Amino acid sequence: METILVTGGAGYIGSHTVVELLNAGYGVVIVDNLVNSNIAVLPRIETICGKSPVFVNADVRDPLAMAAVFSDHAIDAVIHFAGLKAVGESVEQPIRYYENNVHGTMVLCQAMADAGVFKLVFSSSATVYGPDAPVPYVETMALGQPSSPYGASKAVVERILADLCVSDSRWAIAALRYFNPIGAHESGLIGEDPKGIPNNLMPFIARVAVGKLAELAIFGDDYETPDGTCQRDYLHVVDLAEGHCQSLLALEKPGLHAFNLGTGQGVSVLDMVKAFETVTGQAVPYKIAPRRSGDLPAFWANADKAKRELNWVAGRTLEQMMADTWRWQSGNPDGFAEG
Ligand code: NAD
Ligand code: WQD
């Protein structure tokens, strides 16, 4: 049985990936410092899978702690989710973001090399294409100039990973460029649980529907898109989790391999609201508000490479994404705080 180290495995995408890994028969060791997650996710994972990951409360920037993880466990590959992800916060706190996301990855990679582990899957983002890239985004495009420190941290890490692969041909790395993951595990036991007021559309809609927020502000309806609101490529988080399992299989090939993980479809903010209302029967009051600084009008993935090389497609429908989001939010109005 192969054992996978999952950094950030207590978080939103990490916890869903841990479930898929355990169900696929992998052993899992999570390293997470719980800066943006809750320990209560662990018994939920055990309920879903009937088995548990090993949990280590540590920071990926701590070289001694990381060395201990690799000496205590026979790790075969690493999936690296640990990082900070709030775009607006990264503009206010750039050093904290570069320090966590870039330095954290460097410490992890050094610990891997010291332990002789050279297989890595990295959480990258569609934001690495930058604001000027034509849609749909395709992996053959050069990295752009992301407008936030958060986005730049992902592009810098991709560059570092490419340099690592040049330096030593034992490295086999997948940079998975996620589009907009939403939804929750169909059990309703785990899901996205942002602290405070959500920055992202789907958790904001869910909290309006459950009565925790009064109304959604739609940021701009005067974009050059079919209904004037922005379009994004929303994919189900369980599809995304499956994409990580598929990408592990591709790590037989040395070098850095980038993959877009998205559906290939752009969906507008208004369409998201309508789909949520239709599927759940819940009203989502909204108002049109000014544009949010830094938002791009529309982008979505060309996901052909992941289909071709990973045998992966984001197959779950928008209706499933909405139903699963609502099952999670309505069953856990206070998220993991309920334990
Ligand atoms: P999340 O915040 O729910 O998960 C990240 C986890 O990493 C959290 O559990 C947090 O406690 C942990 N963490 C952060 N810094 C750490 C550190 N220094 N040491 C140990 N643990 C640490 O976020 P998520 O949505 O699950 O995102 C996971 C990864 O995917 C992130 O790297 C994020 O940038 C990337 N990503 C997310 C999205 C998205 O829309 N959610 C899109 C593209 C890329
Ligand atoms: C989606 C759409 C908003 C909230 C961000 C990061 C990106 C990636 C995913 C990590 C936009 C609109 C939102 C609200 C709204 N993360 N919106 N009212 O901005 O596409 O991507 O998360 O890598 O890097 O930038 O996602 O969910 O914030 O917004 O109208 O209250 O919903 O304007 O059009 P975004 P989002």
pLDDT tens, residue by residue, 216-253: 999 999 999 999 999 999 999 999 999 999 999 999 99
286 is catalytic: no
Ligand nearest to the CA of 262: 1
Give 284-317 pLDDT, tens digit per residue.
999 999 999 999 999 999 999 999 999 999 999 9
Q: What percent of the chain has pLDDT over 70?
A: 99
Yes or no: say if 300 and 161 are a contact pair by the CB < 8 Å rule: no
- Token pair, residue 326, equals 């609502």
Q: Ligand 1 atom 8: the closest Cα is on which residue?
A: 11
SS3 per-residue string spanning the chain: CCEEEEECCCCHHHHHHHHHHHHCCCEEEEEECCCCCCCCHHHHHHHHHCCCCEEEECCCCCHHHHHHHHHHCCCCEEEECCCCCCHHHHHHCHHHHHHHHHHHHHHHHHHHHHHCCCEEEEEEEHHHHCCCCCCCECCCCCCCCCCCHHHHHHHHHHHHHHHHHHHCCCCEEEEEEECEEECCCCCCCCCCCCCCCCCCHHHHHHHHHCCCCCCEEEECCCCCCCCCCCEECEEEHHHHHHHHHHHHHHHHCCEEEEEEECCCCCEEHHHHHHHHHHHHCCCCCEEEECCCCCCCCECCECCHHHHHHHCCCCCCCHHHHHHHHHHHHHHCCCHHHHC
- Gap from CA of 256 to ligand 1 centroid (Å): 21
- Gap from CA of 332 to ligand 1 centroid (Å): 21
pLDDT of residue 333: 95
Handedness of CA 157, 5, 11, 241 (dihedral sign): positive
pLDDT of residue 207: 97
pLDDT of residue 1: 87
Answer whether residue 87 shows pLDDT above 60: yes
User: What is the average per-residue pLDDT within 11-20?
Assistant: 99
pLDDT of residue 116: 98
Ligand 1 pocket test: which of 29, 36, 261 has the largest number of ligand atoms within 8 Å of its C-beta? 36
ipTM of the complex, rounded to two decimals: 0.99
Ligand 1 nearest atom to the CA of residue 14, by list position: 26
- Gap from CA of 285 to ligand 2 centroid (Å): 18
Ligand nearest to the CA of 296: 2
pLDDT band with cut points at 50, 70 and 90 for residue 338: low
Share the mean pLDDT of the chain.
97
Answer whether residue 177 shows pLDDT above 50: yes
- Gap from CA of 39 to ligand 1 centroid (Å): 15
Separation between Cα atoms, residue 230 and residue 267, nearest integer Å: 8
- Catalytic option among 98, 150, 178, 234: 150
pLDDT of residue 204: 98
Q: Ligand 2 atom 26: the closest Cα is on which residue?
A: 200
83-115 as b/e: b if 16+ CB within 10 A = bbbbbebbeebeeebbebbbebbebbbebbeeb
Separation between Cα atoms, residue 30 and residue 121, nearest integer Å: 14
Residue 206, classified by CB atoms within 10 Å of its CB into exposed (0-12), middle (13-18) or buried (19+), is buried
Ligand 2 nearest atom to the CA of residue 229, by list position: 34
Answer whether residue 339 shows pLDDT above 60: no
Separation between Cα atoms, residue 176 and residue 181, nearest integer Å: 12
Separation between Cα atoms, residue 5 and residue 7, nearest integer Å: 6
User: Does the CB atom of residue 208 touch ligand 2 within 6 A?
Assistant: no
Ligand nearest to the CA of 107: 1
